[in-house]
Structure 1
């Protein structure tokens, strides 16, 4: 019986910490505007580290689409950086009409594949203390990469 009570206490503790973490994440973005009709709000919330200044985040918007296998494809659209008035924070809004650009090579076999077709990317500094908030049209998703450096610095050479 004591083991059972300990297990229940552990489960309750884990559950409460998950609720607390969710409340922390939602409260850290509560000051951002709610998504407009037809939009989805994405949040990139990365952990803080002592090496935040050696990292960058690249994010892009896209969706799975059927394309041919031999051309390169990209989602047409652009990011607009907006200021969160009164807070000193910014957020991003991605606008697209859904058109996809493509190289126009002839495909001899015309094989069709499903692939993630993405927009041009936005590269921003890594900040583990503040989430990146991005609004995109419904049906699209945000993906991101984190880049790090080993602090190695190089010196450029001049021509003489």
Structure 2
């Protein structure tokens, strides 16, 4: 009975948090950030704050789902740049691309085409659960991210002893 009650409470909490996130509420007002230029759109990444933010990193990608040959590695060419929001001390990112999708050139006679997210090179940044990351990307693309978590334990490097003459 206790397990069932705990599962019910947990499920209810997920449903409630899903409802709040679906309402698109921001932790921080992003109106000071510039509006997206023509052909671009503004996206925001918000992550939950934790006591372990210092031991986390984000890797951000921009891309789109495309049909690929199912064999070769394909990526989106482009560049991330950082700009400062003057007078606020915040930064924002812009991703520019010409849409080129270079690829490896392996012969894959038995590969079946598939839809996959063709993404840019990753952009690493600090994890900050208190501040959103504002990003400008071209229309037709989307931004995705990974969260990396470091272990709390530190490991000591081995010292190499050299002979003195």
Q: Are the aligned partners of 1:28 and 1:131 in contact in 2 as well (CA < 8 Å)?
A: no
CA-atom RMSD, angstroms? Answer: 2.1
1:98-121: CA deviations, max 9, x gaps?
000110111213532111000001
1:76-117: CA deviations, max 9, x gaps?
001001111111110000000100011011121353211100
- The answer to whether residue 73 in structure 2 is matched with residue 46 in structure 1 is no
Residue 159 of structure 1 aligns to a residue whose secondary structure is coil
- The aligned counterpart of 1:138 is 139
User: Aligned-pair distance for 1:33?
Assistant: 0.5
- The answer to whether residue 122 in structure 2 is matched with residue 117 in structure 1 is no
Bigger strand share: 1
Distance 1:112 1:147 in 2: 30
Please identify, of 106-115 and 140-149, the stretch whose mean Cα deviation from structure 2 is larger.
Answer: 106-115
Distance 1:26 1:34 in 2: 19
TM-score calculated relative to the size of structure 2: 0.79
- The aligned counterpart of 1:149 is 150
Distance 1:149 1:26 in 2: 25
User: Where has structure 1 moved over 2 Å in runs of 4 or more?
Assistant: none
1:27-55: CA deviations, max 9, x gaps?
52111111111111110011222211111
- The aligned counterpart of 1:63 is 64
- Taking a change above 3 Å as real, the CA distance of residues 41 and 154 of structure 1, as seen in their structure-2 partners, is same
User: Aligned-pair distance for 1:70?
Assistant: 1.1
Distance 2:160 2:42 in 1: 49
User: Aligned-pair distance for 1:64?
Assistant: 0.6
Q: Give the gaps of 5 or more residues in structure 1.
A: 1-13
Bigger helix share: 1
Residue correspondence of structure 1 range 85-124 to structure 2 within 5 A? 85-109=86-110, 111-124=112-125
